[in-house]
Amino acid sequence: MKQIINIQEKFGAELHTRQMVERLAASLNAADSYLLDMSGVMQISRSAADELYNLTHGDMNVDLINVEPFVEKMLSAVKLGRFLPRQRSTTDTPIIHCETIGNVLQQLSAR
Amino acid sequence: MPSTTPKIVSFEDTLSAFFAAITTVVASSIVSLPLQQALISLYNQNPLPDICQFALDDESASVAINQLKKNLRTCPPEQVKLLNSPLTYLLDELICNIQQHAQTDKGYAYLHHDAAQHCIDIAIADLGITIYGSYVAAQKHLDKLGDSDAEALNLAQNGYSVKNLPDTENRGYGISSNMRMVVKGLGGEFAVLSGNALLLYSQDTKKILSLPSEIDFKGTMIIVRIPDQVPNNFNLYTYTS
């Protein structure tokens, strides 16, 4: 029998930080199975979603139910990121050495 | 105006003034607002009311994020609704970065809607180990890093994380994705000050300044200015993966 955990009741409607999910994970028992009821969780950071992905794809038996559209999209972004190579800018950002405050001011005002 | 060379000192009791001043300078861009003004403000220690300090536990961070978003009350309600997701994303990720990397026990945040200028200024800061210090502490990417705060900023803006899983690059989105979202998505400007380096990113420029030795911020501060109108074609998910 899977235990259902209501995430909104535990953390509110927004999962802001990775730490929140880490704390949740630490409270779970590896021998048990869980359903995380995500109804009412309307916002999630990418970091929290990444940690949630770790939790649901790791050694523990944890699944999500009732995932709201925003959270679903963020989880999809995380999932996609796991399988695609990271895209990075091919152009270098110039590093400009400013010896004086005057140089800094010049750079700040130069477009 | 002080007669000696101004020096930015990262003591907490001067942070709020510095915070306010540098926010104005960099956010308002990179636009020719003189840095001296920031330094003078620092010396005068004028605090700003929209700054909050928060502990880095989850509850305090959540309270801070919600408190900051209340500073949008002067924005038109329909824009507040549109701004909610990108602002929450920005604040979440940057505060999460402090929790994960800065090795400090609190953060500072500022959010101010300037109705006259139709923009929102945001800053998130900590007095932690700097981005350079975070790479060194984790012993990651040292070959690319040298001894330079500027190189560390360059790595961070390219999404090089210190905490990836062994077989995937699942982390390092905090600064890199928010930079793109702010500048490309929302038409804003983004700056990062860490140690003695300053990254500036706007529609017209992207560069990293290695600052003179008088300026050395013992921590990391992210400074953002965005218009208070979200573009019609803005899509958050373009920037999250």
Q: Which two tokens stand for residue B227?
A: 């218009």
The pTM of the full predicted model, rounded to 2 decimals, is 0.81
- Please tell me the distance from the alpha carbon of residue B1 to that of residue B3, in angstroms, as a whole number: 6
Every domain of chain B and the residues it spans: 52-239
Phi-psi map region of B76: left, alpha, beta (phi>0 left; psi -120 to 50 alpha): beta
Q: Which two tokens stand for residue A32?
A: 């048990």
Confidence grade of residue B166 (pLDDT, cut at 50, 70, 90): low
**pLDDT tens by residue, A52-108:** 999 999 888 999 999 999 999 999 988 887 777 666 666 678 999 998 877 877 787
Protein fold of B52-239:
Heat Shock Protein 90 (3.30.565)
Q: Is the pLDDT of residue A31 over 90?
A: no
A25 vs A85, which has greater pLDDT? Answer: A25
Pick from B186, B158, B9: nearest CA to B85? B186
CB nearest to A105's CB, from B34, B61, B91 = B34
ipTM for this model: 0.80
**pLDDT tens by residue, B109-121:** 888 888 888 888 8
- Please tell me the distance from the alpha carbon of residue B162 to that of residue B142, in angstroms, as a whole number: 11
Closest-CA residue of B relative to A47 is B93
Q: Which two tokens stand for residue B189?
A: 């400007």
Inter-chain Cβ pairs, chain A and chain B, closer than 8 A: 149
Query: H helices within chain A, ranges in order?
Result: 7-11, 18-27, 46-56, 69-83, 101-109
CB nearest to A99's CB, from B34, B208, B212 = B212
Contacting residues of B for A73, CB less than 8 Å apart: 237
